Chains A and B, each alone.
Chain A
């Protein structure tokens, strides 16, 4: 007997991994956002692509720069998480927003909300949502200026092609004016933030994420169901309420952010219902026409508590019961 092979690599089991890692998941989210991006380019023109690209680049740059300054590993830009944040933030902005304002938004999202709290996985709220709210409060005028830039948009919204502003469906509803019909609402022939106009395109992305097992359908479904039920209770059109404003984008892409949503299915359902309730309460009784981002932010803050209420229980043991 003689040793043939030594100095082998020793490590703890298991010795194999699922090929899906963080970068794959984040890239899938970017892919899922592409249909909605394509639709906004079709409606609003090249400016939509420019805004998205600027937000993505700025977010990745801020992630890299702030981690360098803080002497942390700056290779985290390879996990695509900053790119996802930038893309989602762009989708939350009016297409005509000055680019420097969008970059300020990226700074808020990446530096203040994400990195100052410890980076990926440590932020208490969704960075894109806080950035949207910060811009909404800081640049109230520009953030509510729904300028129509694309030729297509002008044609659809029945306005002349020179920079014109057209109100969003929720604003029209608040004024009591005539609103677009449900088919227009669902397909996205409406005005609004860059990426949130087409429910159809967002649902395609959502189905892709569910199919790829990136997200569980629990949050989007419970969120949308709550919005629909409350709309009926308030005597509103549920389809209009679902397709208007940020509900679709929020339910599919922002409320499902892993870091700031509960881990168990029970927790996810509570989270989704909470988002739906707050969205509809703000829409119905609040000063703002839209409440999706505030609703999600509020539920983000409640997430640790929901997680504590909804721990998994052991197999064969009743919750809280003796073995």
Chain B
């Protein structure tokens, strides 16, 4: 920590019930459903046809667009269908449906990449199919394709500040050495001098593990983060580890940082060592309705209901009322459980009716808890009021676009207002207004140009 100052946040009950539980591989499901859009950017196009036999690690979909990540088969089997299904994001998407044969043959293409230059390294990152596994699903190759000298710090994000989720913790305990090796490789090819591993202080065993591996080394440091949500948010971890502020709309590279999730780094190292791309995902399955909470290694494309079944299903006599993908602070509540696990998922939490209750909103009492909880130093109550008035200028004045949806405001509101939800809507409002303004400006520019052209024509005559 470069300064004594910290960003604000909220204390949330950790509920890390599965802490220290080893990650076990899941038994293969009957079928997997692999959607074409598991990353931010252009969706992939299938490279296989119905009836084709595919193997583990085989490239089955790709895209030429710069912002995208290839997709590999997580199982061996036959392509049964290529159909459009609803995904967990609430959008329909093309899915490659593979009937699993259970042999898990490894594709011939799976071999360690040969790397001789930075370009080779960035290509290898792209070929690994990796996206930001912390949840943002931003293609990792874009992040790592930096200009020379632009980035001086590689930050490994092991904060895992969301309640319940413990997979990163388990992965750190089991694979710390590989993570450090991956960091050193990335630092070598990208010319980065300094590495930082940020871990929240509620994981002392992981901190100790990294410290013992790194004892005597001065290229990578372990940074113990406070137990305040959201330490794992990109902008927060950059500030807490380097003292640099990442302003909304800028990328970490603009302040000389790359932030990677610990599991992303592990998967990258495994790809560099074995050539096996991203085909499985570590997930925490927990919640008060699940029979056997545990950490599971799941083939990408597995149906959530199959995963729940693998964890013993729902407790007997309990009715599941809410299923979250991700933690309770930023996770998404899904209406049904027949969605495929994507690259970016890191938890499936099942809860009964007591958790699913909706609180009644009451009047804002101007207590300021939302302001005191906001890591970005915004005034959520003001934004909520501006949103209700549809006052776009006021929304801009109070910097609505800086909000990163961490949910601290809603969490701390004693009036139980859905502040974060309103701010999300407010951001859409501002974006729409931006679009309108841009269209108007363009139309005006065009009209002015035409008028000028006409004038010139007139002169010519």
Contacts and interface: CB of A to CB of B under 8 A. Distances in A.
Interface in B95-154: none
Interface stretch (B172-180, B256-264, B418-426): B418-426
A313 B377 contact: yes
B412 interface: yes
A264 B412 contact: no
Interface stretch (A88-96, A100-108, A114-122, A181-189): A114-122
Given A9-B321, A315-B239, A21 B415 contact: yes
A316 interface: yes
B414 A16 contact: no
Nearest to A118: B363
B445 interface: no
A264 B377 CA distance: 10
B420 A13 contact: yes
Interface string B393-421: 00000110010010100111111101011
Interface string A1-25: 1111111111111111110111011
Contacts of A315: 7, 235, 239, 245, 247, 376-377
A279 to B, nearest CB: 23
Given A6-B337, A25-B414, A121 B364 contact: yes
A258 interface: yes
A74 interface: no
Contact of A12 (B246, B412, B424): B424
Interface residues of A, number: 44
Interface in A107-129: 119-122
B323 A8 contact: yes
A115 to B, nearest CB: 12
A116 to B, nearest CB: 15
B75 to A, nearest CB: 14
Chain B residues touching A, majority SS: loop
Contacts, number: 171
Interface residues of B, number: 72
B328 A15 contact: yes
A323 interface: yes
Chain A residues touching B, majority SS: loop
Contact of A3 (B13, B337, B362, B376): B337
Contacts of B412: 18, 20
Nearest to B406: A14
B320 A312 contact: no
B311 to A, nearest CB: 12
B203 interface: no
A1 B303 contact: yes
A313 B371 CA distance: 11
B336 A14 contact: no
A284 interface: no
B324 interface: yes
A314 interface: yes
* Pairs A-B, 6 closest by C-beta atoms: A316-B245, A14-B407, A12-B421, A121-B363, A9-B356, A6-B336
21 contacts: A2-B305, A2-B338, A3-B305, A4-B313, A5-B308, A5-B314, A5-B337, A6-B336, A9-B321, A13-B330, A13-B331, A15-B328, A15-B333, A18-B10, A21-B416, A121-B366, A258-B366, A264-B371, A311-B398, A312-B377, A316-B245
Interface of A: 1-18, 20-22, 24-25, 76, 79, 81, 119-122, 216, 258-259, 261, 263-264, 311-317, 323
Interface of B: 7, 10, 12-13, 29-31, 33, 163, 235, 239, 244-247, 303, 305-306, 308-309, 313-314, 320-324, 328-338, 355-356, 358-359, 362-369, 371, 376-379, 381, 398-399, 402, 405, 407, 410-416, 418, 420-421, 424
